[in-house]
Amino acid sequence: MSSADPNCIFCKIVAGQIPAKKVFEDDQLLAFHDIAPWAPVHVLVIPKQHIATLADVGPEHDALLGRMLGLAPQLMKQLGVTGGFRTVINTGPDGGQEVYHLHMHVMGGPRPWAKG
């Protein structure tokens, strides 16, 4: 496992240095509510291992990525989302990534991103 980045806000959340409203945690993953939600239910799923972007993963991360994606429907069900949800991984500056620690947004509820 890569060492944590001391300047990374998500590494600080994993270490317990910054509080988060957690919805799931195990030895590899942490999921918590986004502080600036785009939907009624908006959680972030992050690996505890510091990986800067999706572009930095390799075959050795296949199982981790599968666990992240597989956790999404479980969390949405647990949080009462019944009409579907969206998963998003922003990658790099052109992909809109703001925090350089791999994370997956999982958003459910009415679709604020839909054109009205």
Query: Is 103 an annotated catalytic residue?
Result: yes
Domain total of the chain:
1
The CATH number of whichever domain residue 71 belongs to comes to 3.30.428.10
Domain that holds residue 96: 9-83+91-100
Look at residue 3 and tell me if it is in a domain: no
Q: Among 45, 49, 48, which Cα is nearest to 2's?
A: 49
Q: Which of 42, 50, 103, 105 is catalytic?
A: 103
Look at residue 107 and tell me if it is in a domain: no
Look at residue 43 and tell me if it is in a domain: yes
Q: Taking the model in full, what pTM does it have? A: 0.92
Look at residue 72 and tell me if it is in a domain: yes
pLDDT by residue, tens only, the chain of 116 residues = 447 898 999 999 999 999 999 999 999 999 999 999 999 999 999 999 999 999 999 999 999 999 999 999 999 999 999 999 999 999 999 999 999 999 999 999 876 666 55
pLDDT of residue 1: 43
